[in-house]
Amino acid sequence: MHARLAQLPAFFAASAGLLLTAGCQILPEAQSDPTRFYVLSSAAAGTAATTGAPVVQLRPVEVAEYLRSRSLVVRRGGNEVEFREFARWGEPLEAGVARVLREELLARGAAGAVLAASARRDPAKANFDLSVRVLAAEGAANGAVDFHAGWELRAVDTGTVAARGDFRAAGARWDGKNEAALAAGLSQAVGALAAEIASALPKP
């Protein structure tokens, strides 16, 4: 009897060791975060503002409500969109579009300066107000890149519309899987939008 009692502590110790070992084996392993972040880029080599070119005040870029998600969007059909959970914009889409437009207009020499939306609206400083509304900025499951934006240039001194357009990107493609290629295609589309706006601005 005493021998059996003496063996109990050793038995419990061995059992505890087995439980600890089993517990260690079921702990989940740390997983790396698969999220990737993307930004729009400009093909402009640098700022090359032209003396005498008009000064443009870029109003806050508007985007369709479904584009306010930080996830990149892929359209699956006429009424179905997919938000890529692990592919996100590194900045709000409207901020990225505004940044690229500014860089492109300056690099093309179409604007002498592009004032930020927050700058005071002063006819002595700006010649034109530029308003842009992005209606689509997404990839399609078939490999197309869909970018659609309306824009308007308005003379600051008179308030009259100088030019407006309904821009749709053409030719940009991606492979349907690589979100970096989708971000590059959308960057190309915003650059083409800037080219269309630049052509509507008066030359110095």
CA distance 55 to 120: 13
- Of the ranges 12-16, 21-25, 181-185, the best mean pLDDT one: 181-185
> What are the start-end ranges of the H helices in 121-178?
none
CATH of domain 37-200: 3.40.50.10610
Give residue 83's identity as a one-letter amino acid code: F
Q: Which tens digits make up the pLDDT trace of 132-143?
A: 999 999 999 999
Is residue 181 scored above 90 in pLDDT?
Answer: yes
What average pLDDT does range 123-150 have in this prediction? 93
Residue with tokens 């938000």: 83
Is residue 8 scored above 80 in pLDDT?
Answer: no
Residue with tokens 């821009």: 167
Residue 120 falls in which region: left (phi positive, over 0), alpha (psi -120 to 50) or beta: beta
Binned at pLDDT 50, 70 and 90, residue 77 comes out as confident
Please state, as a whole number, how many other Cβ atoms lie within 10 Å of the Cβ of residue 146.
19
Record the pTM: 0.81
Q: Which tens digits make up the pLDDT trace of 33-53?
A: 899 999 999 987 665 556 789
Domain parsing of the chain, residue ranges: 37-200
